[in-house]
């Protein structure tokens, strides 16, 4: 894991010089060469981070701070809260002392120090920051004659010497770096990486390697001596993490960090078609899947080129997936998954095939959904529909990670998937408040796609000859539960044609009972259908009677189950959905 991150940093040119760290700067204080205040230059929210000197964990204490870029209150000496900012004066003095110390190498340091010691100038700067709605806790930098202090190279010799005071003394025998294998001084503590604040991370960042309990120590070693890493190698690893975290999507309260070993272009990246995009209700009758097609086609072309030998260098291309979340200043690795790009392509392709399902209106296939959209059908019933994303982070973090792992490995989906999807279907049918429904039940697709994917994998791994198809299954070898679901769809359609004004009909009253205990419910539904058929014109009644006859012939003399297990309930639900889609489809002229 560490080695792959280190290689990524080297391949991308991210290996920063030791003692530097990427920092987000909200604004720069502009000064002339003579120290005159010229104004404030604010940066866009998505502006790239800048690399600047960093003293590491020492800046979190009571005496020290980072040079050049810090919270505005420290260089300006702003005490906004007497209790919370009691260390600001000490840190302010240290900030100025660093500028004085480095002023011999970089004259711009002295210009900034002079301006910060002038009370009138500091007051003007504070007022200008307030006009731009910047607070004391916002990180700022300084520009002299339009050049940021951190952009200079003249202060580097001073910085190399100055930062040595924060480094541990070298041991007589140097440990071997866990990342590079070289014998070099090991870091006592690893610098923290920002970017996980929205998934439980700390505002000051989170450490990738840490040891804080006796159980994590061995042979009497303390802290990171148990896993020694050199500063150069860990700086590169942290640079890779910073880059990957910044562009990683969120899934299940974790940042889904992923990358490839080599040679995979952005167009050939397959993970976005699974993850990117938050809302997709899957109800479009015409699938808008150009993104999926282009990515899969690019991947297929790459696999073909590898197999025919035109691009053999890609043969060993591998993917790495590592969901990360924060936990009290430490990074939590939720999953570590690696494998060949070829396997990734075939497994994702298989996932979309398993999800493939006829559209609710019988016209084409339903839209391939993203994982986040599918996750909405795994939530507990009820709750605020406007807070589904936060609820997913609270309720589904582990389940979504297991679902992702099953997709990537082409294995069976967790049994919790159909249990939750079936519960969502039953709850949606019983929900009387339309505003609480994410989507009208009659055009629901996502829950049934989850059921089909789970069932297809279960049947395929069992060696079934006829796994569930995307459209109405014509075989007579399906479980009786499937045909009971089809009958249920026909009975619902008959009632709605005969009594369209009824709000709570057969589906709402009997679906739950029929899907769990069909032997008791189907007889009652058959009797009701005869009553409803009598209200239809003869031609339409004949059409529905022929549909009922077709389905009952497939059941034959097999018994309708008294109680259905989860797989049978899934068959029932898919039979209901697919038959309903056939009935909704426009009639051929």
| 11-64 confidence digits (pLDDT tens) | 888 876 778 888 889 999 999 999 999 999 999 988 888 989 998 878 888 999
The distance in angstroms from the start CA to the end CA of the chain is 61
Distance of CA 215 to the CA centre of its chain: 31
What are the respective helix, strand and coil percentages of the chain, to the nearest 5?
A: 50, 10, 40
State the alpha helices, DSSP H only, in 148-289: 156-162, 231-246, 272-275
pLDDT recorded at residue 53: 93
pLDDT recorded at residue 136: 93
Average of per-residue pLDDT across 261-280? 73
- Return the number of other C-beta atoms located less than 10 Å from residue 33's C-beta: 10
Q: Using 50, 70 and 90 to split pLDDT, how confident is the model at 438? A: low
Q: Using 50, 70 and 90 to split pLDDT, how confident is the model at 272? A: confident
d(CA 48, CA 205): 17
Backbone dihedral angles phi then psi of residue 357, each to the nearest 5 degrees: -150, 145
Q: Evaluate the CA torsion angle 204, 205, 209, 213 in order and state its sign.
A: positive
Average of per-residue pLDDT across 287-301? 55
pLDDT recorded at residue 283: 43
- Return the number of other C-beta atoms located less than 10 Å from residue 97's C-beta: 12
d(CA 354, CA 470): 8
pLDDT recorded at residue 328: 86
pLDDT tens track for 161-178: 998 887 766 656 788 899
pLDDT recorded at residue 284: 43
Distance of CA 96 to the CA centre of its chain: 42
Q: Using 50, 70 and 90 to split pLDDT, how confident is the model at 139? A: very high
Average of per-residue pLDDT across 444-464? 94
Buried-state track 535-548, b at ≥16 Cβ within 10 A, e below 16:
ebeeeebeebbebb
pLDDT recorded at residue 281: 43
d(CA 539, CA 497): 13
Q: Is the pLDDT of residue 222 over 80?
A: no
Helix (H) or strand (E) holding 419: helix 416-430
Average of per-residue pLDDT across 257-283? 72
pLDDT recorded at residue 572: 96
- Residue 183 forms beta bridges with which residues? 176
d(CA 71, CA 510): 63
* 93-to-55, 113, 393 alpha-carbon distances in Å: 16, 10, 43
pLDDT recorded at residue 123: 96
CB neighbours of 544 closer than 8 A, spacing ≥ 6? 490, 493, 494, 497, 529, 533, 536
Q: Evaluate the CA torsion angle 123, 129, 134, 140 in order and state its sign.
A: negative
Mean pLDDT of the chain: 86
Lowest mean pLDDT among 69-83, 158-172, 521-535, 569-583: 158-172
Are the beta carbons of 461 and 409 closer than 8 angstroms?
A: no
Both tokens assigned to 67 = 């040079």
Pick the closest to residue 188 from 338, 56, 359 (CA basis). Answer: 56
| Percent of all residues in the chain with a pLDDT value above 90, rounded to a whole number | 56
Beta strands in 105-179 (DSSP E): 139-144, 147-148
Pick the closest to residue 576 from 426, 413, 461, 369 (CA basis). Answer: 426
pLDDT recorded at residue 301: 67
Lowest mean pLDDT among 233-237, 275-279, 352-356: 275-279
Exposure of 281 by Cβ count < 10 A (0-12 exposed, 13-18 middle, 19+ buried)? middle
pLDDT recorded at residue 310: 54
pLDDT tens track for 410-431: 999 999 999 999 999 998 887 6
* 202-to-180, 196, 199, 377 alpha-carbon distances in Å: 29, 7, 9, 31
Both tokens assigned to 84 = 């919370």
Buried-state track 440-474, b at ≥16 Cβ within 10 A, e below 16:
ebebbbbbbbbbbbbbbbbbeeeeeeebbbbebbe
Average of per-residue pLDDT across 339-357? 91
d(CA 455, CA 422): 13
d(CA 204, CA 569): 49
Backbone dihedral angles phi then psi of residue 159, each to the nearest 5 degrees: -65, -40
d(CA 548, CA 543): 9
Are the beta carbons of 491 and 529 closer than 8 angstroms?
A: yes
Pick the closest to residue 324 from 244, 444, 424, 383 (CA basis). Answer: 244
Distance of CA 78 to the CA centre of its chain: 38
Average of per-residue pLDDT across 121-149? 95
CB neighbours of 451 closer than 8 A, spacing ≥ 6? 418, 421, 422, 570, 573, 574
pLDDT tens track for 384-418: 777 888 888 889 889 999 999 999 999 999 999 99
pLDDT tens track for 476-517: 778 999 999 999 999 999 999 999 887 778 888 999 999 999
pLDDT tens track for 175-216: 889 998 888 888 888 889 999 998 999 988 999 988 766 666
pLDDT recorded at residue 203: 86
Bridging pattern class, strands 330-333 and 318-327: antiparallel
pLDDT tens track for 88-97: 999 999 999 9
């Amino acid at each position: 894991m560490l080695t792959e991150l280190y290689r990524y940093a080297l391949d991308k040119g991210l290996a920063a010089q030791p003692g530097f760290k990427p920092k987000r700067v909200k604004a720069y204080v502009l000064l002339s060469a003579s120290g005159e205040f010229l104004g404030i230059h604010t940066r866009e929210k998505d502006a790239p981070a800048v690399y600047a000197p960093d003293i590491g964990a020492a800046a979190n204490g009571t005496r020290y701070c980072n040079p050049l870029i810090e919270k505005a209150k420290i260089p300006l000496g702003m005490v906004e809260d007497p209790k919370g900012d009691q260390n600001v004066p000490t840190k302010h003095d240290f900030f100025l002392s660093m500028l004085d110390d480095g002023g011999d190498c970089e004259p711009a340091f002295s210009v900034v120090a002079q301006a910060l010691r002038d009370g009138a100038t500091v007051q003007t700067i504070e007022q200008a920051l307030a006009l731009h709605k910047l607070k004391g806790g916002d990180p700022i930098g300084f520009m002299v004659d339009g050049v940021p202090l951190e952009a200079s190279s003249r202060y580097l010799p001073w910085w190399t010497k100055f930062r040595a005071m924060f480094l541990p003394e070298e041991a007589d025998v140097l440990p071997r770096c866990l990342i590079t294998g070289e014998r070099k001084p090991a870091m006592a503590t690893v610098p923290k990486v920002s970017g996980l604040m929205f998934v439980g991370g700390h505002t000051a960042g989170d450490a990738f390697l840490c040891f804080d309990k006796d159980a994590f120590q061995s042979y009497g070693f303390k802290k990171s001596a148990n896993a020694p890493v050199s500063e150069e190698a860990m700086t590169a690893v942290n640079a890779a993490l910073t880059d990957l975290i910044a562009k990683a999507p969120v899934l299940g309260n974790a940042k889904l960090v992923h990358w490839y070993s080599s040679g995979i272009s952005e167009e050939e990246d397959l993970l976005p078609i699974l993850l990117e995009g938050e809302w997709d209700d899957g109800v479009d009758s015409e699938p808008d899947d150009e993104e999926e097609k282009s990515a899969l086609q690019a991947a297929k072309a790459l696999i073909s080129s590898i197999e025919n030998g035109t691009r053999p260098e890609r043969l060993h291309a591998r993917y790495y997936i590592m969901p990360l979340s924060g936990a009290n200043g430490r990074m939590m690795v939720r999953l570590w998954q690696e494998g060949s790009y070829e396997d990734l392509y075939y497994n994702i392709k298989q996932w979309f095939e398993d999800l493939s399902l006829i559209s609710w209106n019988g016209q084409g296939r339903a839209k391939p959904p993203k994982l986040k959209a599918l996750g909405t059908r795994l939530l507990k019933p009820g709750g605020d529909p406007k807070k589904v994303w936060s609820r997913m982070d609270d309720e589904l973090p582990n389940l979504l990670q297991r679902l992702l792992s099953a997709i990537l490995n082409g294995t069976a989906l967790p049994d919790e998937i159909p249990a939750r999807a079936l519960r969502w279907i039953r709850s949606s049918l019983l929900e009387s408040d339309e505003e609480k429904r994410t989507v009208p039940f009659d055009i629901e697709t996502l829950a049934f796609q989850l059921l089909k994917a789970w069932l297809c994998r279960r049947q395929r791994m069992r060696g079934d000859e006829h796994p569930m198809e995307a459209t109405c299954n014509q075989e007579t070898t399906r479980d009786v539960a499937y045909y009971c679901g089809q009958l249920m769809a026909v009975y619902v359609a008959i009632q709605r044609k005969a009594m369209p004004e009824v709000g709570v009909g057969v589906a709402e009253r009997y679906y739950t009972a029929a899907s769990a205990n069909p032997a008791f419910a189907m007889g009652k539904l058959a009797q009701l259908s005869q009553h409803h058929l009598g209200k239809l014109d003869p031609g339409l009644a004949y059409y529905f009677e022929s549909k009922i006859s077709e389905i009952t012939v497939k059941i034959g003399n097999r018994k309708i189950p008294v109680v259905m297990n989860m797989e049978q309930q899934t068959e029932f639900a898919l039979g209901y959905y697919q038959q309903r889609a056939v009935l909704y489809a426009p009639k051929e002229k």
